[in-house]
Amino acid sequence: MNKWNIPSWLEKEVRNRDKHCIYCGVLFVQSNASRKSMPTWEHIINDATIVNTDNIALCCCSCNASKGAKSLSLWLYSNYCIRKNITTETVADVAKRALTH
């Protein structure tokens, strides 16, 4: 497990799935890139006990900092999302599925 208690099999699966921020779509770059393009771990539903492919994802530092502990459904109406054109239609499928639960 990594330091966020994400099992290695799940970490590998999520890293293979999420090559872009699940919210704003920025492409992740691993080498000497700006923090904006570095992936961070995200609990889509803010519950650290839900550790599965439907709740664990990668998003950029900016989106993660903006969302914080807000619920996804409320955060999508924040000034940050409005400014970045992040909507229920533009987020990745994993986030769309979380909105239906």
Full DSSP string of 60-81: EHHHHHHHTTS-HHHHTTSHHH
* Cα–Cα dist 43/45, whole Å: 5
Q: How many CB atoms lie within 10 A of CB 17?
A: 15
Cross-strand pairs, 20: 27
- Tens digits of per-residue pLDDT, 46-93? 998 899 999 999 999 999 999 999 999 999 999 999 999 999 999 999
- With a CB cutoff of 8 Å and minimum separation 6, the contacts of 32 are none
- Give this prediction's pTM: 0.91
More confidently predicted of 38 and 60: 60
Domain ranges of the chain: 8-99
Cross-strand pairs, 43: 56
**pLDDT higher than 70, residue 33:** no
